[in-house]
Structure formats: structure tokens, C-alpha cells
Structure 1
Amino acid sequence: MKRKYLTTLLWTSLGTTLFFFLFFNDEKTLRTFLITLLLSTMYSFVLGFGNGFINEFLNRKFPWSEATRTRAVLSIVSIIIGNFILVYFCNYMNYVVIQKTATAEEFFSSKYGVTNWFMINIALLISAFLHAKSFMEELKKTSRKEVVEQKLIAKSANAQFESLKNQLDPHFLFNSLNVLSSLIDENPRQAQKFTASMSKIYRYVLEQKDKEMVTVEDEIEFAKTYCELLKTRFEDSVYFSFDVPREDYQKYVVPLSLQLLLENCIKHNFATSSKPLTIRIFSDGNTLCIENNLQVREQIKESSGIGLANIVQRYSLLTERNVFIEKSEDHFKVKLPMLLVKPQVSSEEPEEEAAAYKRAQKRVREMKKFYSSLITYCIIIPFLFFVNLFTSKGEYWFWYPALVWGMVLAFRAFKIFGIGESWQEKKIREIMNQQKNRSNGKI
């Protein structure tokens, strides 16, 4: 047990002792004060340690954050059984052992039934409050942890995405300079044209590199310009064909993905007039395909694999759909997902999350009101009981406010923790997840 918990039990014992000694004790002597202190301490520590042990045991075995429903059921069952045993033990020690106002037979008869039943209900209310407090603390801790984790994930995703995008400049420049250097030796005139075209293409690279997604139309137009640049070097050794319908032009792909894949085709395959390299760019359902006939050239230096790996990693940060690579004996094909909507890699809170946060705030306010009412009930009802006990002998009118107020509290608890708002939220979340999964299947 924590030191703070022990201090709370000590102050509870002292406060209960003073309350009963000053207001419900006719004989104000040191002996009666000590007996009252002994009884208050016994009730406080037995009930406090008993419920604390139950709560800590359940926290270890069934944390609220991992098994909420199971924990709720076990908490209800355990506090009912546990407090029943603890209250009977305390009352037995009080009336039979310490004060000796009853025999064991009398204590277990109907004579003390009302007293035992009332004490059990008070203990259950206090225990329920303690378990609810534990639930709120665990909820705050879990929520705080999830917020920190989500922020770290968002920052990591952004950093990773920026790192991947920053690979494009040196990668494109390195490959373009390699082409240019070989072209200078083969055909200096074409090298000049290549340099002019390269400046236009590089402008597009600089414009698009900071974007997460671009339209298929923009990427196709850029790919056609880049293919013209490649044709200036390879002439009739390379053939390009584009077969992408207009209805696919407004979908989205990762920027510079076609350019990187075209580079790979040229880099890993030989192309001659007698054996030209044929590269097809076409759409197949919701994928953009780049296919070439396989004419693998011998590599003196092993490829770094930056281009294709870059595309795969950037897609993994934007969608659950995968980049597919198909290789046969005579063909090599890469399938890029075309997305219907433009995803965002940012730390901004989506509208759905903002709405969910507002619902969570409303729910927390309702829970706070409920716990305030529960605490008030735990204070007022025992007070009414003692007023009834000492003012109206034989007539127990305090049951009426206790029952009505208790039913109201039970209804509010059922609404908050049962099938009220929480059921609606779960259903809304379930429908939203279904729609999200359905949309993920489309994009």
C-alpha cells in the first residue's frame, strides 16, 4: 500500500471517531473515546485494506485499459463478496468481541440483519467510488500515454516521409548526370538538347518533391517529357507506349514514381536497335502499371535499389495498399496503387478525431457529475439514517430517499457505463470503421 493511502485511512479513522464521539455518544469519557477510536480504526483499515487489496490485485491481473468489460464484471462481483465478508467480520468483532452487546447466535439472527445490511450497502458505495476513482486514474494514464504515442508516431512518420522525399534530388541528379556523361561521348549535339530538357524536368522535380501525392495526369505528362528526353539518347532502341484512360487522370500517385521506374528500366536492361526495350505504361483497375520486356544487362556494380525502395516506403506511409512487383522470364512489371482521395501525412487532427474528442469530453463531464452525485449520496444517506435512527424509533423513513435517489444513480450509471451513450459511440465507431475499410478497399 502507498504511504498516501495509509495516511488517508488514518485521517478517516480520526474523523469518524470525532464524529461519532461528539454527536452520537452520551458518555464522553476517555474510555469511550478510545473504544470509538478502536472501532473506527478497525472499520477503516479492514475495509480499506480489503478493498485496496482487491483493487490492486485486479489492476495487476485485469487492467482497465486491456480488459475493461471483464474488469468491470469482476470488480462488481469481488466488491460485493469481499465487502459482505469484511463487514460481517467488523460487525462481529464490534458487537460480539469488543462491546459484547450480542452473542454469536444473536448476531447471526434477524435481529442484526438490518444493521449488517445497511453497513454492507455503505461499504459497497464507498468501495464502488474507490473502484471508479481507480478507473478514472487508469483512463487518464492510458489516454495520456496514447496521446504521447500518437504524437511520436506522427512525428516519426513525418520525419521518415521527409527523409524519403529528400532522397529524390540526389538520386535523380546522379542518374541524369550519368546519362549526360555517356551522351557527351556518343553525341555532343544530343547532349546539349538533353541538358536543356533536363533543366525543364528538374524544375518539375523541385516543384513536386514537397508534395505527398500528385494527380495521375501530372505524372503522365511529366513521364512523357522524360521519355522524350530518353529518346534523344536511345533513339529507336527504346519504345514507350501510354494507355491510361482519361477517367483515371484525377486519381493520385506518389510524385516522381514513374520517373524512378523508367530510370530502373533503362538502368537494368540493355537496349539496341535489333533488340529494342519496350516500356508500357497503362492502368489496370485501380493500379498504374509500368511493364517492360526483360533484357537484363550485366551489372558491374551492384544496384543500390534506392528508386523502387523509395516508392514502396512512401506508399506504405500513405495507404495500406501495397506496391506489387511481378517478374517473369521475359517481362518485369510494377503496379502502383492509384488512390481515389488524397491522403495526408500530417499531425493535424482529422475532423472525425475532433468530433470523437468532443464526445469524449462530454462523456468525461457526465462521469464527473455522476461521481459527484455518488459522493453526495454516500454522505447524505448515512446522515439521514442516523437522523431517522435517533428521531423516529421503529419507523424507517430514510429508505424512501435512499431508494429513489439510488434508482436515479443506477439509471445514470447504466446510461454512462451500460448501453447508453457508450453503446451509441461503439456503434458509430463500428460503422465508421466499416466505411473506412470499404474506402481503403477502393483506393
Structure 2
Amino acid sequence: MTKKEIISLLWVSLITGVFFFTFFTGDKTIQNLILSILVASLYSLVIGGGNGVVNNLLSRKFSWIEHTRTRAVLGVIAVLFVNAALVLLCNYVNFVLIQNVPFSKFFSGSVGFVNWLMINIALLISAFLHAKSFMSEWKKASKKEVVEQKLIAKSANAQFESLKNQLDPHFLFNSLNVLSSLIDENPNQAQRFTSSMSKIYRYVLEQKDKELVTVEEELDFAKTYCELLKTRFEDSVDFEFNVNENDRKSFVVPLSLQLLLENCIKHNFATSAKPLKIKIYSENGNLIIENNLQQREQVKESAGIGLSNIVQRYALLTKHNVYVEKSDAFFKVKIPMLTQKITPMTTTNDNEKAAYDKAVKRVDELKGFYGNLISYCIFIPFLIFINLRTVPEYQWFWWPLFGWGIGVVSHAVKVFGIGSDWEERQIRNYMKKEEENNKKWK
């Protein structure tokens, strides 16, 4: 037990002792006040401390989050046996040792009723402590999960921003290289290229901060960019666009086509005799960029910004993968077209959401059971007290005691024993038998 818990129990002892001394003690003396506080301390420290120790021991061995059912079942067993033993111990010290009540009357008469009443009160307090422990552990686990998800999201967001920031200087560097070549070869084309490049660069600045753009927007940009490449390479490069109209409203990562077109030019040679043919088309939910393979020898190793950038950005946005196919005749890249705009860096997939919903349902079931148990422990002793104070010759309290008790037991069996898993298994077994019977008749 912690120091804070011990101090709380001492305060409870003091308040309880003063309360019983004020309202239930006839001889108001200092000795009786001290005795009343000591007896209250006995009950508080032994019962409260014992339940605290058992609760902490069970929580260390069996987590409320990972072993919910085992922890709950052992908690119910511990509540019943530990509290009964602790209450009887305290009552034995109080009545037999302090008040000199004969042991033969310990389990009968008024002392027997006090035993029963105190056990129910102890069960109520213990049930409250276990429920509080469960809610505390669940809140800690929820807060921990939220913090972890925020860290994951921040990390993924930073990574995504870093990838997008590669696009701006990468595009500018390659475009300036093209422009530098055209200045010597054809100054007039270089001037037209500069004008077109300003329009394209405006698109780069507008789109690079977006997570997704429509296929139609990306195609329009790609066609303009292909015109620039055509200006430089003339009939050495041939472009073919064949994207279905229905796919144009789908989404892709921005500047993906520009990066892949650059890759085609960068890694392949193109001449009038052997032109580089680049096809852009849609198929089976993918936007495909395909070129005939005319691989050139690399003077230096590629930095790998283009394709790897696209792969990493898609990995952060969706579970759909980017596919690369290569043969002796062609090189093909398939990028998935997404049917709806998604929130980037989503950290909870369908399985996790289903698990979360199931966990929420489980928490509601446990809260309902503990609420039922606490209500039973509160109202049944109250009804017994009312019954014995008013008409002790007719003990009607047994009816709600057993009726409600059966309900609590049934609730416990449903939550910790059979539960919905059993129902689902029975339904699956029944459906399986029906399928087998149908096969036999066919």
C-alpha cells in the first residue's frame, strides 16, 4: 500500500470512530472515544488494507487490459473469501476479545447479524475498489495509446513533409538542366521552354503541399510537361495517353507522373532511329506508366529520389502498394488510383477499429455488471435492515435477496463465463450443420 492510501484509511478511521462515538455510544468519555477510533481503525486498516493488498497483487499478476476475464473472475473470488475472512477476524477481535462476548454466540443472534451485515458492506467497498482499479487501468491504457498514436502521426507527418519537400528542388534542378542544353542547341526553343516551365513550376508550387490530387489534374500537368520534353527531344520521344474517363476522378499523389516521366528519360536513351515510347494508361484501378526498355549506362549511381519518393508517400497514405514490373522489353510502374480522399497518416485500420469497438463493448459490459453488483450490495442490506426493524417476525427480505442474487450470478456468467463468444460459436456451429445437411440432400 502507498503512503497516500494509508493516510486515507486513517482519515476514514477517525471519521468513522467519531461518528459511532457520537451517535451510538451512551457514555461519552475520552476512553470510549479513543476505543471507538481504535476499533474503527481496526476495521478500516484490516479490511481496507487487505483489499488493497489483494487488489494490487492481482493487478500485478493479471492486467485488467490484457487478462480482463481472468482478472475479473479472480477478483470476484478474492472479494468473497478475503472479505469474509477479514470481517470475521475484525469482529472476533471486537466482540470476543474486546467486548467479552462468548464465542458460542459469535455466529448467532445480533452478533451473527452484524457479521453478515459487515461482510456485505465489505463486499460493497471491495467491489467499488475493484471497479475503480479497472477504470483507472483502462484510462491509463487509453491515454498511453492516444500518446503513442499522436507520436506515430507526428512522425509520419514529418516524414511525409520531408518527402514532399524533395519535389521542389528536384524538379527545378532537372528543368534547369534541360534549359541549359536548349540554350546552346536552340535559343528560340529555350525561350519557349522557359515560358512553359514557369507555368509548370506554378503547378508544382500549388500541388506539392497537397496529399492527393485528381488523376485529371495530374494528366493535364503531365501533358504540359511532355510538351516540354518533346521540345527538347523532338521525334526521339513519343507519348501516348489512354486513361479511362471513369478513372479521371480518382486520386493519386501529386507530381507522381512528372517524377516517373523523368525516370523514363533519365534511365533510357532516345534517338530518332530508336525512339523512347512512353505510355500512360489505366488498368484495374492502377495508373500505369510504361516505356520500352532502352537502358543507358549510368555514369554515377542514381539518387533514387523519383520512384522511392512515390513508394514512400503511398506507404504513408494507403495500404495499396506501388508495383514495378521489368522485363527485357519494357519497364512498367503501377501506382494505385484511390477512389476517395483519405486522411493521411491514418494509424487505425479496420482490424484495429473492430478491436476498439469490441473493447468499448466489453467495458460497457463490465461497467454494467459492477453497477449491478454494487447496487445489490447496497440495497439488499438496507432492505434487510428495514425488514428486521419493522416486521422481524416475517422475513420477506429473502425474496429480493435470492431473486436479485440469481440475476447478479446470471449477469456474471454472461460477462465472465459464456458471453457473446459462446453465442457466436453456437451460431457458427448451427450454420455449419445446416450447410452439411444441405450438401447431403443435393
TM-score interval, smaller chain:
0.7 to 0.9
> Could you tell me whether the CA contact under 8 Å between 1:282 and 1:288 is conserved in 2?
yes
Q: Is the contact between residue 184 and residue 191 of structure 1 (CA under 8 Å) also seen in structure 2?
A: yes
- Measured in 1, the distance between the counterparts of 2:338 and 2:36 equals 75
The reply on whether 1:218 has 2:217 as its aligned counterpart is yes
Which residue matches 1:311? 310
Q: Does 1:322 align with 2:309?
A: no
Unaligned ranges ≥5, structure 1: 348-356, 421-443
Partner in structure 2 of residue 243 of structure 1: 242
Give SS of 1:81's match.
helix
Separation (CA, whole Å) in 1 of partners of 2:325 and 2:111:
82
What residue number does 1:426 align with? none
Q: Which residue of 1 aligns with 2:47?
A: 47
Q: Which moved more, 1:363-372 or 1:328-337?
A: 363-372
Q: Take 1:15 and 1:384, find their aligned partners in 2: how far apart are those partners?
A: 25
* Residues in 1 aligned to 2:24 and 2:402: alpha-carbon distance in whole angstroms: 25
Secondary structure in 2 aligned to 1:334?
A: strand
Residues 288, 336 of structure 1: 8 Å contact kept: yes
Cα distance, 1:264–1:415 mapped onto 2, change above 3 Å = same
Contact kept in structure 1, 2:121 and 2:378, CA below 8 Å: no
User: 1:354 — aligned with what?
Assistant: none
Partner residue in 2 for 1:429:
none
Which digits, 9 at most, give the CA deviation of each residue in 1:284-331, with x for residues without a partner?
Answer: 201111122222222223211112222122212221111122233443
What secondary structure, in the 3-state scheme, does the structure 2 residue paired with 1:335 have? strand
| Counterparts in 2 of 1:73 and 1:410: CA distance versus 1, 3 Å | closer
Q: Give the residue type in structure 1 aligned to 2:344.
A: V
Contact 2:238 2:275 in 1 (8 A): yes
State the SS of the aligned residue for 2:218: helix
Determine if contact 1:129/1:374 at 8 Å carries over to the other structure.
no
C-alpha displacement of 1:125: 0.9
Corresponding residue number in structure 1 for 2:273: 274
Does structure 2 conserve the Cα–Cα contact (< 8 Å) formed by 1:237 and 1:273?
yes
Q: State the distance in 1 between where 2:206 and 2:30 align.
A: 89
| Residue pairs, 1:165-176, within 5 angstroms | 165-176=164-175
Q: How does 1:3-402 map to 2 (within 5 A)?
A: 3-103=3-103, 107=106, 114-345=113-344, 396=395
Residue by residue over 1:195-217, the C-alpha shift from the partner in whole angstroms, topping out at 9 and shown as x without a partner, is 22222222222222222211112
| Aligned-partner Cα distance in 2 for 1:60–1:365 | 23
One-letter identity of the residue aligned with 2:18: L
> Post-superposition shift, 1:60?
2.4
Structure 2 CA distance for partners of 1:88 and 1:331, relative to 1, 3 Å: farther
Q: Structure 1 26/414 Cα, relative in aligned 2: closer, same or farther at 3 Å?
A: farther
**Alignment partner of 2:300: what SS?**
coil
- Residues 157, 84 of structure 1: CA spacing in aligned structure 2 closer, same or farther, 3 A cutoff? same
Look up the equivalent residue of 2:25 and give its one-letter code.
N
Aligned letter for 1:2? T
C-alpha deviation, 1:153, in angstroms: 3.7
Quickly say closer, same or farther: Cα 1:64–1:248, change in 2 above 3 A: same
Instruction: Output the CA distance in 1 between the equivalents of 2:14 and 2:89.
Output: 21
TM (normalized to structure 1)?
Answer: 0.78
Q: Is 1:21–1:28's contact at 8 Å kept on the other side of the alignment?
A: yes
Counterpart secondary structure, 1:19: helix
What is the one-letter code of the residue matched to 2:74? L
Q: Which amino acid aligns with 1:297?
A: R
% identity of equivalent residues: 65
Deviation of 1:263 after TM superposition, in Å, equals: 0.3
User: Which whole-Å CA distance do the structure 1 matches of 2:411 and 2:228 have between them?
Assistant: 72
The one-letter code of the counterpart of 2:175 is S
Q: Supply the AA of the counterpart residue of 2:164.
A: K
Distance 1:6 1:395 in 2: 43
Spell out, residue by residue over 1:218-252, the C-alpha distance to the aligned partner (whole angstroms, 9 max, x if none). Answer: 21222122112111211222222222221211111
Are the structure 2 counterparts of residues 30 and 199 from structure 1 closer, same or farther at C-alpha, using a change threshold of 3 Å?
closer
Q: What SS does structure 2 have at the residue aligned with 1:234?
A: helix
Check 1:365–1:63 CA distance in 2 against 1; reply closer, same or farther (3 A cut).
closer
Query: What is the match of residue 436 of structure 1?
Result: none
Alignment check: 8 A CA contact 1:80 1:124 kept: yes
Please list the CA deviations of residues 366-394 of structure 1 after superposition, one character each: whole Å capped at 9, or x if unmatched.
Answer: 99999999888867765666666566655
Summarize the Cα distance change of 1:74–1:409 in structure 2 as closer, same or farther, 3 Å threshold. Answer: closer
Distance 1:366 1:15 in 2: 35
Cα 1:72–1:95, aligned 2, differ >3 Å: closer, same or farther?
same
Return the letter of the residue paired with 2:80: I
Per-residue CA deviations over 1:76-112 (Å, capped at 9, x if unaligned) read 2322232233223323333444434232x65467996
Task: State the Cα distance separating 1:5 from its structure 2 match.
Answer: 1.2
Distance in 2 of aligned mates of 1:13 and 1:381: 25
Query: Which residue type is aligned with residue 263 of structure 1?
Result: E
Stretch moving more, 151-160 or 334-343 = 151-160
Separation (CA, whole Å) in 1 of partners of 2:418 and 2:282: 48
